[in-house]
Amino acid sequence: MEAITKRSKIKDLLTTEKVGTRVNIKGWVRTFRSNRFIALNDGSCLQNMQAVVDFEKMEEALLKRITTGACLSVTGMLTKSMGKGQDVEIMVESIHIYGNSDPEKYPLQPKKHSLEFLREIAHLRPRTNTFGAVLRIRHAVSYGIHKFFNDKGFYYLHTPIITGSDAEGAGEMFRVTMLDPVHPPVDEKGHADFSKDFFGKETNLTVSGQLEAELAALALSDVYTFGPTFRAENSNTARHLAEFWMIEPEMAFYDLNDNMDLAEEFVKYIISYTIENCREDLEYLTKRAEDEDKSKPQHQRSEMNLIDRLGFITANPFERLTYTAAIDILKNSKPNKKGKFQFPVNEWGMDLQSEHERFLVEKHFKKPVILYNYPISIKAFYMRLNDDDKTVAAMDVLFPGIGEIIGGSQREERYDVLKMRIRELGIDEKDLWWYLDTRRFGTAPHSGFGLGFERMVQFITGMGNIRDVIPFPRTPGNAAF
RNA sequence: UCCUCAGUAGCUCAGUUGGUUAGAGCACCUGACUGUUAAUCAGGGGGUCGUAGGUUCAAGUCCUACCUGGGGAGCCA
């Protein structure tokens, strides 16, 4: 009897010289061809390991149980492959089956499935090439983000997920309550009495960690958050989730320009990091997207493939222009003059529609665009008022295909101006006393932005729907798994 | 939430102006073959045509409502 062979990951067997040694791998069967060739995948990388069985020497009952989806432990000699399509393979000496998989009922077949179908079996879709690649990239992007900030001396700040403040103004919130849903305690007006609730007040899930991040930035200088975020908007699009992850750096002593510099450097770093560390998965997704493109009409196809597109982003400076300059370009643009825009651009102060942003990014500049200095009327209370009294020091980074990937601003650090803005927008300043306190005690110029994590992963993987870059998407009417 | 398109076998889809017993490929099962790469060849099983109403001699096909999904829009990250 041989000594027990330690399990290897398939990725390690492919990258280290182990030919001629006895190895053990464990994983899930992708296909079993010719009663002889098992394609086994353990998720460590895109590639399968081919395990070759001598079916004349194997028990037939065991062979019958090697079906798509079954989980196996395979031991044998790692050898140069005799066939084409793989460099090495395992000549099987023994097989242990951890888990059967009834081929009649297992929904994944060794063929292409639609993303819509896979979404319905989100518990099994990580076993596909596409989702394996997306999830590995999602990890790398996540790790790259922490590395970027850590290397720059930023501190990772954990902001609360349950929040008692509803002043963020970033949209509808999910209520968190322990009150009896049928017969809650009521106040004299007959409304639910949240003073009797778990926290003694009405609480919600966070829509942003920004305000808390600002508190920490005015002590630690440079911080960032990276956590779940919840929006109860009834948004049904390919780029919205009810639960998503957001990164929010906040920096003391950064003005708007420093903020834009950081945002651009950050995004480019993340993309470069992924290109360097996820080559194989990116190549797979690139090929996948190219195949998909072939079935589309010419004018809908992308000009550049996925990997080239990513490389292009890292190699070229983003276009920076003010809101005012953007309005000028849009006003004089062909689609505007020909009345092709659903929302014509005619006056300064209007909010830009996604068709306008898409025109600037995809047609006019053909690269990422940073718009800044927006009219005060269309932006949030905490953004710093510019000297013209008409605009605020806000900035949005717009990406091809997905639109706004980053939104940020220099924050209003002047106590009186901030208080005035809070009043103007009808927010109860009592809810924000702690926020205003930072402006009373040692205030400082500071800036920050928010990056939608899934939108970043969407751009890097080229996936068209945001529901396919998060393991278990939450959207209106869907909280399965 | 609004506009729009779609829902037929486990999956991907075809199904004529409403007209006999609703089809194909893949998957699955049986057999053959065995260095395969979405293996191949022969045979077989598999359907309340999204749900509920309605029109009609007759509905997968037409009408209404609802459900689910796609694309677009709004809100945003």
> Which ipTM value was assigned to this complex?
0.89
Q: Which nucleotide is nearest to A38 (CA to C1')?
A: B36
Which residues of chain A between 273 and 312 are close to nucleic strand B, CB under 7 A?
A: none
A356: nearest nucleotide, CA–C1' criterion: B73
Q: For strand B, is any atom closer than 7 Å to the CB of A238?
A: yes
The C1' atom of B50 and the CA atom of A82 lie apart, in whole Å, by: 50
On whether the CB atoms of residues A416 and A410 are closer than 8 A, the answer is: no
Report the DSSP beta bridge partners of residue A252. A446
| CA pair distance A442, A422, nearest whole angstrom | 20
A90 touches strand B (CB under 7 A): no
In sequence order, what are the residues at sequence separation of 6 or more whose Cβ sits closer than 8 angstroms to the Cβ of residue A413?
A: A384, A439, A443, A444, A445, A446
A74, A92 contact by CB (below 8 A): yes
pTM of the model: 0.94
The gap between the terminal CA atoms of chain A, to the nearest Å, is 44
The pLDDT of residue A298 is 67
The residue type of A89 is E
Q: For residue A1, what pLDDT is reported?
A: 43
A236 touches strand B (CB under 7 A): yes
A235 touches strand B (CB under 7 A): yes
Distance A104 CA to B45 C1' (A): 12
Chain B bases under 7 Å from protein CB?
A: 1-2, 10-13, 26-29, 33-39, 67-77
Residue A316, CB, less than 7 Å from strand B?
no
CA dist A301 and A308 (Å) reads 14
The gap between A175 CA and B66 C1' (Å) is: 29
DSSP state letter for A299: G
Cα dist. A236→A115, A321, A449 in Å?
Answer: 17, 30, 25
Query: Which helix (H) or strand (E) segment is A314 a member of?
Result: helix A306-315
What is the pLDDT at residue A300?
67
CA angle A150, A151, A152 (to 5 degrees): 90
Do residues A284 and A47 lie in contact, with contact meaning Cβ atoms separated by under 8 Å? Answer: no
- CA of A102: nearest nucleotide by C1' is B28
Å from A32 (CA) to B26 (C1')?
16
- Euclidean distance between CA atoms A167 and A150, whole angstroms: 30
Amino acid at A62: L
Angle at CA A139, nearest 5°, toward A290 and A88? 65
Look at residues A108, A88, A80 and name the one whose alpha carbon lies nearest to residue A11: A88
Mode of pairing for the β-strands spanning A71-80 and A88-99? antiparallel
> What would the two tokens of residue A54 be?
């001598």
Residue numbers in A 161-200, CB below 7 Å of strand B: 170-171
Listed in sequence order, the residues at least 6 apart from A20 whose beta carbon sits closer than 8 Å to its beta carbon are A77, A78, A79
HSE, side-chain direction, 13 A CA sphere, residue A260: 20
Does the C-beta of A37 come within 7 A of strand B?
Answer: yes
Q: Provide CB contacts within 8 A for A478, sequence distance 6+.
A: none
| Residue A360 main-chain phi, psi, to 5 deg | -60, -45
pLDDT tens, position by position, for chain A (481 residues)? 445 679 999 999 998 888 999 999 999 999 999 889 999 999 999 999 999 999 888 888 889 899 999 999 999 999 999 888 899 999 999 999 999 998 888 888 877 889 999 999 999 999 999 999 999 999 999 999 999 999 999 999 999 999 987 666 667 899 999 999 889 999 999 889 999 999 999 999 999 999 999 999 999 999 999 999 999 999 999 999 999 999 999 999 999 999 999 999 999 999 999 999 999 999 999 999 888 877 766 666 777 899 999 999 999 999 999 999 999 999 999 999 888 888 899 889 999 998 999 999 989 999 999 999 999 999 999 999 999 999 999 999 999 888 899 999 999 999 999 999 999 988 888 889 999 999 999 999 999 999 999 999 999 999 999 999 999 999 988 888 8
Identify whether the C-beta of residue A229 lies closer than 8 Å to the C-beta of residue A206. yes
- In window 376-435 of A, residues with CB < 7 A from nucleic chain B are 403-407
A35 CB below 7 A from strand B atoms? yes
Say if residues A239 and A402 touch (Cβ distance below 8 Å).
yes
pLDDT given for residue A428 in this prediction: 86
